[in-house]
Chains A and B, each alone.
Chain A
Amino acid sequence: MAEIKFEEALKKLEKLVQELEEGDLSLGDALKKYQEGIQLSQLCSQRLEDAKKKVELLTKNKKGEFSLKPFDESKADEASA
């Protein structure tokens, strides 16, 4: 599923709002754009709220295979890797 990127969504939303504010639209078009705008703003909000914080270390074994280990920020003073 190709999701629209946040930046794109935000730009589209901005454009929609401008078009609505220019005021030359018929009522039908205005309602359509309003609906689209609501959807986009919901998408953006979701994107902002759904993300979770994660800090990890990338490690590679002798075979060249990668794996992720959690990174302990409080231990950043110890040497690692």
Chain B
Amino acid sequence: MPTRAEFSSQHLESGSQKHRHIYTVSQLTQDIKLILENALDYVWVEGEVSGMSRISTGTVFFTLKDERAQLKCVLFFNTALSLKFQIKNGIKIIVFGHIGVYERSGNYQLYVEKIEPLGVGSLQLALEQLKIKLEKEGLFDSSHKKPIPYLPSCIGIVTSATGAAIKDILKVIDRRFRDVEIIINPVRVQGEGAKEDIAEAIRDFNRFGKVEVIILARGGGSIEDLWAFNEEQVAYAVYNSRIPIICAVGHERDVTISDLVADLRAPTPSVAAELVLPKKEDLRQAVEDYLGRLNFNIRHTLEVNATQHKIAHKKLQLLNPVLKIPHYRQRLVDLDRQLGMSIKNFIGLRAARFQKVIEKLETLSPLGILSRGYSITFKLPEEKIIKDAGALGKGDIIKTKLHKGEIVSEVQEAG
């Protein structure tokens, strides 16, 4: 195969057309193709994606570039399908493939057979891309998240029917509350068919009803093991569930897309069981406390009221007009006595005066005069008192009242 140096020297040296080797385009291109495709076997190339486009057959064309050069790449449909993550302009990748010369367009390109993201695992990248996509679609919105019921009477669990997760959950529930209805919808939690199982199980609970909350659980594992919980159809099943969902997948560090969409995230299945139910003992204690406070308070209130009542009653009693009766009675008695005494006095005084008057009267009384020897003469039968002797004639009958006794006599001589 003539070297580049030999070619140019041939051209320069020859003067006549007879000594120049003139290729057709096809021939030259063919040579180039042979050189290139033999010199370079399968290669790994790293670079940044740009100018990505897709044609109707599904074949993807893009350019890998760095600061100084570009390489056209072709990615066929079936290879593209097997990719976990999406190729986008700007991302840095490593590709594996072989160089081919495409004679029709006169360029060389890399026929890609494998692609890996640069720096991070393909699953990681796929996860990041899906997170961004679903966040834009609103699947992680906190306004969409529903509250978990405080004391559900029926709990649904979507998990493997075997394995540590279900055992842990049942154990914790048993310890905390025990008497609750649990319905398990068993699923494959990894591998083939897992994402369909999980999504369907969530929809099943929504159709069946009765359960008030769902725990979506899986034990720990690698990103591949947990991958079903990152799938879009599972994310949408969680989002569309009208029954609230607590998601407990993997260990503390593992955050899957289901964790982000769920109404509540638990770092492990055991914690999910703690979040779903309060401790029965705690609740019993709370009710007892309230009952105790109620009783204490009502007793206290009644006592206070009773005391107030007593005080008021006493006050009232003191104000009772009946109480005043003895007082008034006493007054009455006193007044009575006073009256009595006054009257006595009065009477006494009057009596004294009367006595005086009587005495005076007596001295003035004709009957008193009589005691001094005087007499009163009455003319009978009229009983008229005679003061003048001339009023009498001989033969008149007269009565003479003496101090003691009376004399009846006939007048012999008067005047």
Contact = CB atoms under 8 A, between A and B. Distances in A.
Contacts of B150: 5-7
A68 interface: yes
The secondary-structure label for the interface of chain B is: helix
Interface string A5-29: 1110010011011001101010100
Interface in B152-179: 153, 156, 161-163, 166-167, 170, 174, 178-179
A27 B299 CA distance: 11
B357 interface: no
A17 B297 contact: yes
Given A48-B280, A58-B156, 4 more contacts: A7-B150, A7-B151, A76-B161, A76-B167
B64 interface: no
B275 interface: no
A63 to B, nearest CB: 13
Contacts of B408: none
B387 interface: no
B239 interface: no
Contact of B161 (A23, A53, A81): A81
Contact of B182 (A56, A60, A81): A56
Nearest to B284: A48
B351 interface: no
A48 B162 contact: no
Contacts of A79: 161-162
- In the A-B complex, the 8 residue pairs with the closest CB atoms: A7-B150, A81-B186, A51-B179, A80-B161, A54-B181, A58-B185, A34-B298, A6-B151
Contacts, number: 114
A71 B186 CA distance: 11
A58 B204 contact: yes
B125 interface: no
A66 B162 contact: no
Interface of A: 5-7, 10, 13-14, 16-17, 20-21, 23, 25, 27, 30-31, 34, 37-38, 41, 44-45, 47-48, 51-58, 60, 66, 68, 71, 73, 76-81
Contacts of B185: 57-58
B166 A76 contact: yes
B293 interface: yes
B287 A20 contact: no
Nearest to A80: B161
Contacts of B184: 55-58, 71
A79 to B, nearest CB: 6
A55 B182 contact: yes
B294 A20 contact: yes
Contacts of B182: 54-56, 71
Contacts of A47: 151
Interface residues of B, number: 40
B305 interface: yes
27 contacts: A6-B150, A7-B149, A10-B286, A10-B290, A14-B290, A17-B297, A20-B294, A20-B297, A21-B297, A25-B301, A38-B291, A45-B284, A53-B181, A54-B180, A56-B181, A57-B183, A57-B184, A57-B185, A58-B156, A58-B205, A71-B161, A73-B170, A76-B162, A76-B170, A78-B162, A81-B161, A81-B187
B287 A10 contact: yes
A57 B186 contact: yes
Interface string B195-212: 000000000110110000
A17 B294 CA distance: 6
**B184, B185, B207, B293 interface centre (most CB from chain A within 10 Å):** B184
Contacts of A54: 180-182
A2 B287 CA distance: 22
B283 interface: yes
Nearest to B301: A30
B207 A41 contact: no
B167 to A, nearest CB: 6
A80 B151 CA distance: 29
Given A7-B150, A21-B297, A58-B204, A80 B287 contact: no
Contacts of A77: 162
Contacts of A45: 284, 287
Contacts of A53: 174, 178-181
Contacts of A10: 283, 286-287, 290
Contacts of A73: 167, 170
Nearest to B180: A51
Contacts of B187: 81
Interface in B282-321: 283-284, 286-287, 290-291, 293-294, 297-298, 301-302, 305
